[in-house]
Amino acid sequence: MLKTAGAAAITGVSGCLSGQNRPKGVTLAPPDNYKNLKEADLPYPVYGEKLPEVTVPGVVSDRPVTTTDFVGERHLLLTFVYTRCEGICLNLGQNLVQVQARAAEAGFTDDIALGAITFDPEHDTPERLKSWGAERGFDYDLGNCYLMRPKSERRARAVVEDTFGEAYKHEEGAKMPFLHTGLIFLVNDEGVVERAYAGDPPKPTTVIEDVEALVGV
């Protein structure tokens, strides 16, 4: 957990661009901290790396969602939350909500998918997770929002921490019972990570600018 928190400081300016050479399969220019990203032993995929393939039950359309479902069709903005969180998760969710709203306004709804995976499935029932999304402002009628819930605590740990590198720690009895990294991935329609925002959530304007650059708006 401490290792991941330290690594988050390296990736905190992921929205800034530089003129360094791009890895194969990416559209956005590298972030200013790309040299540090390459040298750091980070537990999650960063710029130019493939997003892992994982299948998780969905709660919006009541069907499994696989991360590679979007390859060849849509870019993906993916994060990890739990509904009892009154801190960082609100900002993580707001980034996705504002990107969805901007996409609808600018006419690129079909080009971007918004995904969030809970790591608290015992508490976050499908109904509660869907209500949480609606309260945040997700428009399910647009058809590009995917809220996902692993079937067990063990599966949540395997997906969220072991596969995607979103470290979290359970604190029994706390009002907000999880401490976690706070990751958002921006993944292109080839399944390659263009941005890994970690630590303090980025400003929605930063993420929107990156999404628009990726879409070509």
CATH number at residue 53: 3.40.30.10
Domain of 61 in residue numbering reads as: 2-215
State the binding site for Cu cation. Answer: 85, 89
Report the C-alpha gap between 165 and 183 in whole angstroms: 9
pTM for the structure as a whole: 0.88
Which tens digit of pLDDT belongs to each residue from 83-97? Answer: 999 889 999 999 999
Q: How many domains does the chain have?
A: 1
Longest dimension (CA), the chain: 48
Per residue in 102-145, pLDDT (tens digit) is 999 999 999 999 999 999 999 999 999 999 999 999 999 999 99
- Counting as low any pLDDT under 70, the low residues of the chain are 1-21, 173-174
Q: What local confidence, expressed as pLDDT, does residue 59 receive?
A: 97
pLDDT at res. 21: 66
DSSP, collapsed to helix, strand or coil, labels residue 168 as: strand
Task: Point out the annotated binding site.
Answer: 85, 89
Give the CA distances from residue 80 to residues 19, 87, 183, 215, in Å, rounded to whole numbers and listed in that order. 30, 13, 7, 23
